[in-house]
Amino acid sequence: MTQKKILVAVDGSKHSDKVIDAAVEYANLLKAKVILVHCHKKFPTILGEPLRQEAIFATLHKAEMLIAPFSKRLREAQIDVEERLIEEPAGAVIPEVARIQQCDLIIIGSRGLTNLEGLLLGSVTTRVLHITPCSVLVVK
């Protein structure tokens, strides 16, 4: 029997703490491995070197700092966790990672950092619900 996998998406919003709480509960219940995903902003394309490399480094460093406390909480709960830092767009990337990793469940917050963007473009959660290959738990 293969180990269950749960993709857990965090963005640093207040909902991310609740998402991690649910991830700990479900990972323990299912004895599952967690794939912790954060979709950072896109890397700049019009900057010349070395400014582009500095911007990429800054973006990745910020993403690593954002995901670190969530990863720590999972490890403290003795849950096997892998981190994935991926460029946006989160709504398309999250289901793709779940498909590639053959995840059994995605846990995601009902809202993220950008409520206005969600109103204008459609929320990440809604997109994930419509195109994901597995079950989705939306945490409020």
Q: What is the pLDDT of residues 52-79, one digit of tens each?
A: 889 999 999 999 999 999 999 999 999 9
Class of domain 5-139: alpha beta
CA distance 111 to 31: 27
Q: What is the pLDDT of residues 7-46, one digit of tens each?
A: 999 998 888 999 999 999 999 999 999 999 999 988 888 8
Q: What percent of the chain lies above the pLDDT cut of 90?
A: 69
Length of the chain: 140
19: closest CA among 89, 74, 75? 74
116 against 121, higher pLDDT: 116
Structure confidence at residue 4 (pLDDT) = 97
Q: Looking at residues 75-101, what average pLDDT do you find?
A: 95
Contacts of residue 127, defined as CB under 8 A and 6 or more positions apart, other chains included, come to: 91, 92, 95
Fill in the amino acid letter for 107: I
Structure confidence at residue 121 (pLDDT) = 40
H helix and E strand count, the chain: 5, 5
Round the average pLDDT of the chain to a whole number and report it. Answer: 89
